[in-house]
Amino acid sequence: MAFDKMELRDIEVWDGNFAAAQAMRQSQIDVVAAYPITPSTPIVEGYAQFLADGYIEGEFVMVESEHAAMSGCIGAAAAGGRVATATSSQGLALMSETLYQASGMRLPIVLNLVNRALASPLNVNGDHSDMYMVRDSGWIQFDAFCPQEAYDLNLIAFRVAEDHDVRLPAIVNQDGFMTSHTAQGVHTLTDDVAYGFVGEFKPMNDMLDFEHPVTHGVQTEEDWHFEHKARQHNDLMTKVMPKIKEVFADFEKLTGRKYSPVEKYDMDDADVCVVCLGTSVETAREVAKEMRTQGIKAGVIGLRVIRPFPFFEIAEALKNVKAIAALDRSSPNGAAGMLFNEIAGSLYNTQNRALLSGYIYGLGGRDLTKAHLVSLFKELQANVDAGKVTTQLQQFIGVRGPKLAYL
Amino acid sequence: MSEMKNIKNLKEFSTSADRFEGANLLCPGCAHSIIVREVLNATNDDLVLSASTGCLEVCTAVYPYTSWDASWIHIGFENSSTAVAGAETMYKALKKKGRLKQPERNPKFVSFAGDGASYDIGFQWISGCMERGHNMMHVVLDNEVYANTGGQRSSSTPIGSSATTSPAGRVSYGEKRNKKDMMSIMAAHGIPYAAQVAPNKWKDMVKKIQHGLSVEGPVFINAVSPCTTEWKFDPKDTMHITDLATDSLVFPLYEIIDGTELNITYRPKNVVPVEEYLAAQGRFKHLFKDEYKYLIKEWQERVDAKWAYLQRREESRV
Ligand SMILES: Cc1ncc(C[n+]2csc(CCOP(=O)(O)OP(=O)(O)O)c2C)c(N)n1
Ligand code: SF4
């Protein structure tokens, strides 16, 4: 059975979920095993419709749970072909055991993670608690700030993950509802160009090569476990970032759309800046522009790649700033936020001792408004003027009732 | 379809293929290795295999060694069935797309798992695979206990057995519940083939494995696997214990075709009393105290009733 190509306009109005589904279709995935959950469900629904309409030749299996979805993806990937799935929140939590197994077996699966809060309390809206929960699972993690990027990063993710030097699975994050359900103009590639970029899947140690039987998923214990994990960690830290930059550069040549592990906005002469992820990056850029008219030299850093963490790129981008706000959309539950810690770590061995404060915002889908960011930038400027952090180190933005702060 | 392997005698059978090496870390006398060899030796087909976490897995793939000379994968405790289902799905996809490296090969997909990994934690995954109709076989190495973690009860542990989480003690005779009837549950999925097998009845096993590998769709095989360590018997007695299991009808050998048609495949000439089966194993030792003798009687009644039921099912062809 052959499959049909789809005619697309140069710019289509797609939400982030549909953009991801289209990129999955164009990548001609061999096996998708999936399970529905809000807000990622439309990805698999879109994919199923493409299949029903004859646009897909690969296999699509609706399994009985997210754990099984990733289990099936692992078996399929080990058999030697292109594999992807999608999930959110509780689905990711149920899947989490298998995430470590996929990365430990060095299987290049792509997972669309539409970010959503983790229960309890139950909440279908977006925050980054799911993304943070699996940040140490050995997966590469990209972050899309809008539907266009959800589309582009899916194509890029296959290229990076499937590279034979990398062979690690990759997550493409996007904000639940804010990106996944918000339609915007998306510049498209034709099916041929998109597939030409992603390229044909090249198997390695595949179980369907019967001339060369392989054993996947061995037992190691103390004898070899450390070596396996150290190698995996080393490869993530040394091989992945150069490969990502190379693929980003190829993508720019093809489309003119330029990506960087650390997306800098007005950082050349910034005194103060916020570092954040997801949809809040665009809001922060708008506000930073306004702050400049008020004499505050504001900049924004959006993290395009969370794992491996771009330590050196972050340190470089922050080398001249005087005050930094790390914005985390997840409760660190008894610690400083993930970004606060990672940024502090990135700067520690540099000369720059910028003032660093941590802000927790937007849990469970709560809005981050321009007004919040205006007062935040002003707070950073006050810190610069005072030469010290003038408020609590860790604050919660927009919580009702008595103001909460720790540290 | 590939040709059925012709097997003449046990000696030839036991040495006819070497896709599961003799070198492994299973206990001496462990039936797991015998069953795996019998399953693999029943066919010449290319195989894609998986194992769940459990004795079989931890004893056969310890880096940098492997006992498997066939494609093999282990993911976790619960999902060996879905791992093979995923590989089978990839095979279908690549076949359709004309991208198989060896398109002339016609591989079979087989998952192995313990009773814990099948009756309990992996139940949902197996049910999903059966319901979705993957072309695969799931084989349970049914030793009626979580052996790898030290003998805890599973839902396959029979009543009266002393397991480490349902031990016999001053006021307890051990496990209180009856063994789960997996054959009925699996057959109820309407799968083309489900069968109980035992390593001592190797011809019966070969027939069933060959039939299972020849049908289209999911197949469920439940293999009784005496465990020297947890059942507490001498390693040299594995086959003797298996004989007692099949000949006492505690572990009847039968098959269910298309979810309905039931055939009994082994009728012992001399049925052994259940008491003999129980007496041969340390895990039932306490049942022979006076106060628990009634349980042995009940055991016999249950086994008789089940045998009568299987015969009725076979005769009525429903
Ligand atoms: C999710 C999860 N829970 C628990 C375990 C611990 N565990 C590993 S093997 C095992 C018992 C295996 O028993 P069974 O499936 O009956 O196989 P056997 O070892 O008896 O052959 C358990 C409980 C695990 N590996 N993963
Ligand atoms: S404990 Fe039992 S099942 Fe496990 S290897 Fe030993 S005999 Fe085999």
- Count other Cβ atoms within 10 Å, centred on residue A260: 17
Name the residue at shortest CA distance from atom 11 of ligand 1.
B146
Task: Using an 8 Å CB-CB cutoff, list chain B residues near A204.
Answer: none
pLDDT at B12 over 90: no
Phi, psi of A122 (to 5 degrees): -65, 135
Q: Is residue A3 part of a domain?
A: no
The residue among A219, A223, A224, A229 with the most chain B CBs within 10 A of its CB, best to mutate, is A219
Taking residue B276's Cβ as centre, other Cβ atoms within 10 Å add up to: 11
Lookup: tokens for A380: 């950073």
Sorting pLDDT into bands at 50, 70 and 90, what band is B3? confident
Domain containing A70 — which CATH number?
3.40.50.970
* Nearest-by-CA chain B residue for A209: B101
- Average pLDDT rounded to a whole number, residues A64-89: 98
pLDDT (mean) for B280-308? 98
Q: Which of A126, A123, A104, A124 is nearest to A115 (CA)?
A: A126
Tell me, what's the pLDDT at B1? 45
Rounded-to-integer distance, Cα B247 and Cα B266, Å: 9
Chain A closest-CA separation from residue B280 CA (Å): 34
Which structure tokens are listed for A344?
């502090």
CA distance to partner chain A, nearest, from residue B223 (Å): 24
As a three-state string, the secondary structure of chain A is: CCCCCCCCCCEEEECHHHHHHHHHHHCCCCEEEECCCCCCHHHHHHHHHHHHCCCCCCEEEECCCHHHHHHHHHHHHHHCCCEEEEECHHHHHHHHHHHHHHHHCCCCCEEEEEECCCCCCCCCCCCCHHHHHCCCCCCEEEECCCHHHHHHHHHHHHHHHHCCCCCCCEEEEEECCCCCCCCEEEECCCHHHHHHHHCCCCCCCCCCCCCCCCEECCECHHHHHHHHHHHHHHHHHHHHHHHHHHHHHHHHHHHCCCCCCEEEECCCCCCEEEEECCCHHHHHHHHHHHHHHCCCCEEEEEECEEECCCHHHHHHHCCCCCEEEEEECCCCCCCCCHHHHHHHHHHHCCCCCCEEEEEECCHHHCCCCHHHHHHHHHHHHHHHHHCCCCCCCEEECCCCCCCCEEC
pLDDT at position B7 is 87
Q: How far apart are CA A329 and CA A365, in angstroms?
A: 9
| Cβ-contact B156, B54 below 8 angstroms | no
Element (H, E) at B36: helix B31-41
Q: Is residue A4 part of a domain?
A: no
Find the mean pLDDT for residues A333-344. 95
Average pLDDT over residues B151-155: 98
A164 with A251, same domain? Answer: yes
What is each CA distance from A77 to B7, B123, B157, in whole angstroms? 35, 23, 35
With the most atoms of ligand 1 within 8 angstroms of its CB, the residue from B27, B52, B53, B152 to mutate is: B53
Is A60 in the same domain as A90? Answer: yes
Structural domain range at position A193: 11-255
| Among A209, A231, A255, residue at a domain's last position | A255
Domain shared by A229 and A268, yes or no: no
In a domain, A303, yes or no: yes
Kindly report the CA angle at A403 between A401 and A404, in degrees rounded to 5?
Answer: 110
A289 with A210, same domain? no
Tokens linked to B88? 């089978």
pLDDT tens-place string over residues A229-277? 999 999 999 999 999 999 999 999 999 999 999 999 999 999 999 999 9
Residues of A (53-112) whose Cβ lies below 8 Å from B: 57-59, 61, 63-65, 67-68, 71-81, 83, 97-98, 101, 105
Instruction: Confirm or reject: Cβ of B229 under 6 Å from ligand 2.
Output: yes
Which CATH architecture best describes the domain B10-316? 3-Layer(aba) Sandwich (3.40)
Pick from B50, B63, B127: which is nearest to A218 by CB? Answer: B63
Residue at A320 is within a domain: yes
In terms of domains, do A269 and A398 share one? Answer: yes
| A61/B75 CB distance under 8 A | no
Q: Are residues A196 and A216 in the same domain?
A: yes
A281/A163 same-domain check: no
- In chain A, % of residues over pLDDT 70: 100
Q: What is the pLDDT of residue A391?
A: 94
Query: Where on the phi/psi map is residue A354: left (φ > 0), alpha (ψ -120 to 50), or beta?
Result: beta
Task: State whether residue B315 is helix, strand or coil.
Answer: helix
Handedness of CA A55, A58, A63, A68 (dihedral sign): negative
Where a domain ends, among A233, A255, A277?
A255
Q: Kindly tell me if the per-residue pLDDT of B16 is higher than 90.
A: no
Count of helices and strands (H, E) across chain B: 11, 10
- Give me the amino acid identity at A162: E
What is the reported pTM?
A: 0.97
CATH of the domain at A275: 3.40.50.920
Q: A121 preceded by cis ω (within 30°)?
A: yes
Same domain? For A391 and A283 the reply is yes
DSSP B287: G
Range of weakest confidence among A29-33, A174-178, B12-16, B152-156: B12-16
For residue A214, the chain B residue with the least C-alpha distance is B71
Q: Are strands A323-328 and A305-307 parallel, antiparallel or unpaired?
A: unpaired
Tens digit of pLDDT for each residue in B194-218? 999 999 999 999 999 999 999 999 9
Average pLDDT taken over every residue of chain A: 97
Supply φ then ψ for residue A405, to 5 degrees: -160, 150
Looking at the fold, whether A155 and A195 belong to one and the same domain comes out as yes
- Residues A145 and A278 grouped into a single domain: no
Name the residue in chain B with its Cα closest to that of A33.
B86
Domain boundary among A214, A230, A255: A255
Cβ-in-10-Å burial (0-12, 13-18, 19+) of A155 comes to buried
Candidates A4, A3, A30, A8; CA nearest to A18 is: A8
Comparing B224 with B14, the larger pLDDT belongs to B224
Per-residue pLDDT, A403: 75
**Residues 7-46 (A) with a CB less than 8 A from some CB of B:** 30-31, 33
The verdict on a CB contact (< 8 Å) between B97 and A77 is no
Burial of B242 (0-12, 13-18, 19+ CB in 10 A): buried
Is the C-beta atom of B88 inside 6 A of ligand 1? no
Per-domain residue ranges of chain B: 10-316
B149 C-beta closer than 6 A to ligand 2? no
Q: Please check whether residue B91 is in contact with residue B134, taking contact to mean a CB–CB distance below 8 angstroms.
A: no
**Encoding tokens for residue B249?**
């009808």
Q: pLDDT-derived band of residue B22, with 50, 70 and 90 as boundaries? A: confident
Examine the domain organization and report whether A235 and A152 are in the same domain: yes
Alpha carbon of B228 to ligand 2 centroid (Å)? 6
What is the pLDDT of chain B when averaged over all its residues? Answer: 96
Tally of domains within chain A: 2
pLDDT band for position A402 (50/70/90)? confident
Residues A76 and A219 grouped into a single domain:
yes
Does residue A2 belong to any structural domain of this protein?
no
pLDDT for res B2:
59
Strands A323-328, A355-360: pairing is parallel
Residue recorded with tokens 């977006």: A126
| Residue A137 identity (one-letter amino acid) | S
What are the residues facing A85 on neighbouring strands? A111
Per the CB < 8 A criterion, the answer to whether B139 and B221 are in contact is yes
Interval B109-118 mean pLDDT: 98
Q: Which residues contact A122 (CB under 8 A, 6 or more apart)?
A: none
What phi and psi values does residue B113 have, to the nearest 5 degrees?
Answer: -160, 155
Residue A176 tokens, joined:
């639940």
Give contacts of B58 with chain A, Cβ < 8 Å. 219
Q: How far apart are CA A180 and CA A146, in angstroms?
A: 8
Residue with tokens 């960011």: A373
Note the pLDDT of residue A1: 54
Q: Name the pLDDT band for B13 (thresholds 50, 70, 90).
A: confident
User: DSSP class of residue B103?
Assistant: T
